[in-house]
Structures are given as C-alpha cells and as structure tokens.
C-alpha cells in the first residue's frame, strides 16, 4: 500500500526509500498540484505522473537519469548543428504552446501523461517564474520543437520535450544545457532513462546518490534570469 496524502500545507511526503519497486518509484497518491506542493516535491526529488483515470500519483524512481555539469557531451555533429542551424532557440516565449505540444499523442500512437490539470499546474508555475520553456522556431516562425521543466536553485528538472522537425529537440536541449551549466547549474534531472539524454552524457545513478547530488545543488542558491534568445537563428 502507498500513502494517501492529505491536502494540507506544508505537504508531508513519505521517505523516498519507501517507494515501490514495481511499479518503479510509486511513492504516494493524493495531495495537490499547487505551486507550494510541486516545489516541495521537486526539492525532494519527487514528481507527479498520472493519467485522467487516476488520482494524483507521486514518484521517486530508482535508478535516476541525471546529467551533471562535468558530464555534458556535445558531439561533433551536435556542435556543427549548433553552429550552422537556421532555427531560432528562445526561452519562455510560448510556454503554454510548448506544454500543449508535449501533451499531444506521439507519432507511434502512444498518449502522454500530461493531463489538462497538469498543464494548468505548470502554467501557474511559469507565472511564478519556476517552470520554464525553451522553444525552437523555423525560418518561417513556426514552433517546431521545445521542452519545459522547473528551475530551482542549481537544478533544472526536465519534464518533457517535443519535436516537429528533424533535430529540433536536439538543438533546443544542446543550447539550453550549455547555457545552464555555464551559468552555474549543477545537475539536470532527466528522471527516467532515455537514449536521447544518454547521448548528451546523462547517466543513471541510484536514489541515494541522486538525493546527495540534489541536496548539494539545492544548498547553494542561484538566481538565473534566462535570456529570451539563446540563438539568433541567423547563419
């Protein structure tokens, strides 16, 4: 059995070590998706993930996919793409559209976990300068890729990304990760394993190591003002 969380402040999450092994990381149910709840959860390495038929479910999977600043890998093809692409990469110009696109069914027909309730919760976080989007625009001004997540102290918590054109999500992540790490961010939480993140140097670590990395990064305050333009898109 998992804990059912009461709708109270401050939220009281169980110890992450009590998360289930199957399904991997399921920790608790219930609670709220208010900014206070979400920030408290992410600071513990806990995130919500559920569908329309379920209550709010909270997760702390192990192992955890993490990209550390010293491990960022930008391969030759990625560096060339960053130098030569005519796509424009921006921050926080279209948060609602980015999360809407991330919520759309994938090309393989699979749905996503981003419910309407989740969309509105992260839009509220964006209004509070906690969640952020990164956009990729074509030469014609169409939104063709993007990602969003939370920025708390020296941690970026990646949530989801989408791509409507070849290499758009790769370009977005490469420019954004480079900017974050150059600005003092220590880790990017990628949550679950993906080959896409592994190509940039992300690796799985056990929960105890992840939580140590998280505590260290959160202990040093950092206030980053993200630029509107990460690239000009004019090559």
Whether domain 65-218 has CATH 1.20.120.1200? no
- The pLDDT > 90 percentage for the chain reads 92
pLDDT at 107: 67
Cα separations (Å) of 58 from 8, 157, 214? Answer: 15, 15, 18
Lowest mean pLDDT among 28-32, 44-48, 103-107, 202-206: 103-107
Residue pair 129/109 in contact by the 8 Å Cβ criterion: no
What value does the mean pLDDT of the chain take?
95
Instruction: Give the integer Cα–Cα distance in Å for 156 and 91.
Output: 14
User: Could you give the CA distance from residue 224 to residue 151 in angstroms, rounded to a whole number?
Assistant: 9
The C-alpha angle 155, 178, 42, rounded to 5 degrees, equals 15
CATH number of 3-61: 3.30.70.3550
- The model's pLDDT over 143-188, given as tens digits with 9 standing for 90+, comes to 999 999 999 999 999 999 999 999 999 999 999 999 999 999 999 9
What's the mean pLDDT in 31-46? 98
- Give every CB contact of residue 200 below 8 A, 6+ residues apart in sequence: 67, 72, 73, 74, 78, 173, 174, 177
Sequence-distant (≥ 6) Cβ neighbours of residue 228 within 8 angstroms: 90, 91, 92, 93
Q: Where in the chain is the domain with CATH 3.30.70.3550?
A: 3-61
Domain with CATH 3.40.630.70 in the chain: 65-218
Closest to 44 (Cα-Cα) out of 11, 83, 16? 16
Which helix (H) or strand (E) segment holds residue 66: the answer is strand 64-68
Over residues 61-92, the pLDDT tens digits come to 999 999 999 999 999 999 999 999 999 999 99
């Amino acid at each position: 059995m998992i804990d059912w969380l009461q709708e109270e402040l401050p939220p009281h999450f169980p110890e992450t070590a009590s998360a289930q092994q199957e399904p991997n990381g399921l920790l608790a149910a219930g609670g709220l998706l208010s900014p206070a709840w979400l920030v408290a959860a992410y600071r513990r390495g806990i995130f919500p993930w559920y569908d329309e038929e379920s209550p709010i479910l909270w997760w702390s999977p192990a192992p955890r996919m993490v990209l550390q600043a010293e491990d960022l890998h930008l391969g030759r093809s990625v560096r060339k793409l960053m130098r030569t692409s005519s796509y424009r990469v921006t921050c926080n110009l279209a948060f609602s559209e980015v999360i809407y696109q991330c919520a759309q069914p994938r090309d393989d027909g699979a749905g996503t976990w981003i419910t309407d309730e989740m969309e509105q919760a992260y839009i509220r976080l964006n209004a509070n300068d906690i969640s952020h989007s990164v956009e990729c625009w074509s030469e014609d001004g169409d939104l063709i890729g993007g990602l969003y997540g939370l920025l708390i102290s020296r941690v970026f918590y990646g949530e989801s990304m989408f791509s409507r054109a070849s290499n758009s999500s790769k370009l977005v992540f490469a420019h954004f990760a480079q900017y974050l790490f150059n600005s003092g961010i220590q880790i990017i939480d990628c949550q679950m394993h993906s080959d896409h993140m592994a190509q940039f140097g992300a690796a799985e670590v056990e929960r105890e190591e992840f939580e140590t990395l998280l505590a260290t990064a959160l202990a040093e305050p950092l206030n980053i003002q993200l630029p509107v333009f990460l690239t000009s898109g004019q090559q």
